């Protein structure tokens, strides 16, 4: 009986090992086929997102430590191979049978982003700022918007060296690999001045390329169309800047800068207008509705229906700003306020501002004799003449 169960037990043990081996990949939101570049990019994105100085959510620090450990293992080729085959237990055995020995995640973060002494002079590429327009409905409801952006990335083939292979990279003979040349110049007999100039043969790099990379033509970078998703939060303020860390142009000479999207609502004629947490709507009514009252339905930005109801005389409203609303009322212009139907508050999206309805009364272009007579009798009595008075 035991020999029958043994293959099943071995299969279950192997399955458990594979599940355990996938955990660190899940921490970095990667699959097992991820390459070195994918691992580095995932660590860069997630470590910034969950760094305790930036993310104050409960559990963010623990997540930051997990991300650092996952990167420490998967970025090391030897550790990754052991982990893929034997899981965490295999790593423990490889490290001498002790407990898990995490590297200091904050030191790792500092070193990765140029905070250590050895990396203090790492250059950072430029940050790009783009005005990004969305609909007011997207800001009201919240939305995930996919978009593409052209950028430059390191060549996949040469990884930014510009050479067809590593064997095609040679030390510059003009400077001996130092990138600079020492030039002696005689000032007068017996006295020389010594200057240090950038080597003109290698451009100061210290290396020259024998055969250029066929994929990028030796340019080291290539054009790339990158796909992104912008998460628009409910009630996001006008001009709010969303930062995509490290998604700027890549170069072998610098760390990529950021991409910043400045989000604004698209101007639309005849639609809702926004001012901070308030919404404004202009409703057009006829003279009969202004005098006799009316009931209408207004479809809001999320599809729910707002009932507009007036039983008395409605004066036309002329202002659209908070400061003028009370003054407008005093001047007999009517602006209807509907509480809680404005924009969601960004800091607390379950709370809403107010909706202001401004009424635009349209007068008829001409009156028929019969209608003129009836209006004259209604306003002035039956004995009043309905003839035009100039």
What is the rounded distance in angstroms from the CA atom of residue 328 to the CA atom of residue 334? 7
Residue 239 lies in a domain: no
Domain-located, residue 342: yes
User: Is residue 376 in a domain?
Assistant: no
DSSP 153: E
pLDDT value, residue 116: 45
In this structure, is residue 207 part of a structural domain? no
- CATH number of the domain where residue 318 is located: 2.60.260.20
What are the φ/ψ torsions at residue 245 (nearest 5 degrees)?
A: -65, 130
> Does some domain include residue 279?
yes
- Does 68 map to a domain? yes
Q: Please, what are the averages of pLDDT over each run of 10 residues along the chain (390 residues)?
A: 45 44 76 80 82 81 85 84 77 59 65 51 78 90 90 84 81 78 72 76 78 84 88 89 86 84 86 87 80 84 86 65 40 71 85 86 79 74 55
Contact by Cβ (8 Å): 245, 258: yes
Question: Integer distance in angstroms from the first to the last C-alpha of the chain?
Answer: 117
Instruction: Provide the number of structural domains found in the chain.
Output: 2
Q: CA 308 to CA 314: how far, in whole Å?
A: 12
The contacts of residue 273 (CB under 8 Å, 6+ apart) are: 279, 280, 281, 320
Q: Is 125 exposed, middle or buried (0-12, 13-18, 19+ CB in 10 A)?
A: middle
CA distance linking residue 298 with residue 356, whole number of Å: 12
Q: Residue-wise over 149-184: b if at least 16 C-beta within 10 A, else e?
A: bebbbbbeebebbbbbeeebbeebeebeeebebeee
The enclosing H or E element of 132 equals strand 128-134
The four Cα atoms 375, 376, 380, 383 give a dihedral, to 10 degrees, of: -130
Residue written as tokens 């930005």? 301
Identify the pLDDT of residue 262: 92
275: exposed, middle or buried (Cβ count in 10 Å: 0-12, 13-18, 19+): middle
Domain assignment present for 162: no
The reported pLDDT for the residue numbered 200 is 78
Nearest C-alpha neighbor of 289 from the set 270, 316, 271, 307: 316
Residues 219, 156: Cα–Cα separation, whole Å: 12
Instruction: For residue 373, give both structure tokens.
Output: 């007579």
- Cβ atoms within 10 Å of 202's Cβ, excluding its own: 22
The domain in which residue 347 lies consists of 273-369
pTM of the model: 0.58
Q: What is the CATH number of the domain that holds 45?
A: 1.10.287.110
Nearest of 214, 203, 220 to residue 152 by alpha carbon: 220
The span from the CA of 290 to the CA of 280, in Å, is: 19
């Amino acid at each position: 009986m035991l020999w029958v169960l043994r293959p099943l037990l071995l299969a279950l043990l192997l399955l458990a090992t594979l599940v355990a081996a996938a955990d660190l990949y899940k921490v970095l939101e990667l699959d097992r086929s991820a390459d070195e570049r994918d691992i580095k990019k995932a660590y860069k994105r997630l470590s910034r997102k969950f760094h305790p100085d930036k993310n104050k959510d409960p559990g963010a620090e623990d997540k930051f430590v997990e991300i650092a450990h996952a990167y420490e293992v998967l970025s090391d080729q030897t550790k990754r191979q052991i982990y893929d085959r034997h899981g965490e237990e295999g790593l423990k055995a490889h490290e001498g049978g002790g407990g898990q020995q995490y590297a200091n995640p904050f030191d790792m973060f500092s070193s990765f982003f140029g905070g250590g002494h050895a990396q203090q002079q790492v250059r950072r590429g430029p940050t790009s700022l783009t005005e990004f327009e969305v609909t007011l409905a997207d800001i009201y409801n919240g939305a995930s918007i996919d978009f593409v952006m052209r950028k430059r990335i390191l060549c996949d083939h040469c990884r930014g060296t510009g050479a067809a292979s590593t064997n095609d990279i040679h030390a510059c003979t003009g400077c001996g690999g130092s990138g600079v040349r020492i030039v002696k110049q005689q000032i007068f007999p017996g006295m020389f001045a010594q200057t240090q100039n950038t080597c003109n043969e290698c451009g100061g790099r210290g290396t020259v390329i024998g055969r250029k990379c066929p994929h990028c033509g030796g340019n080291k970078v290539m054009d790339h169309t990158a796909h992104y998703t912008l998460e628009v939060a409910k009630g996001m303020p006008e001009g709010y800047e969303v930062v995509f860390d490290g998604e700027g142009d890549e170069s072998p000479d610098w760390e990529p800068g950021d991409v910043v999207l400045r989000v604004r609502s698209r101007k639309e004629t005849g639609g809702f207008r926004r001012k901070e947490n308030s919404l404004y709507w202009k409703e057009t009514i006829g003279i009969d509705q202004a005098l006799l009252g009316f009931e209408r339905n207004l479809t809001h930005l999320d599809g729910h229906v707002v009932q507009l109801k007036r039983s008395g005389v409605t004066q036309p409203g002329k202002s659209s700003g908070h400061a003028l609303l009370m003054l407008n009322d005093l001047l007999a212009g009517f602006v209807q306020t509907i509480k809680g139907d404005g924009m969601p508050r960004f800091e607390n999206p379950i709370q809403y501002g107010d909706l202001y309805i401004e009424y635009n009364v349209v007068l008829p272009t001409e009156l028929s004799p019969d209608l003129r007579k009836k209006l004259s009798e209604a306003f002035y009595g039956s004995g009043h003449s309905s003839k035009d008075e100039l």
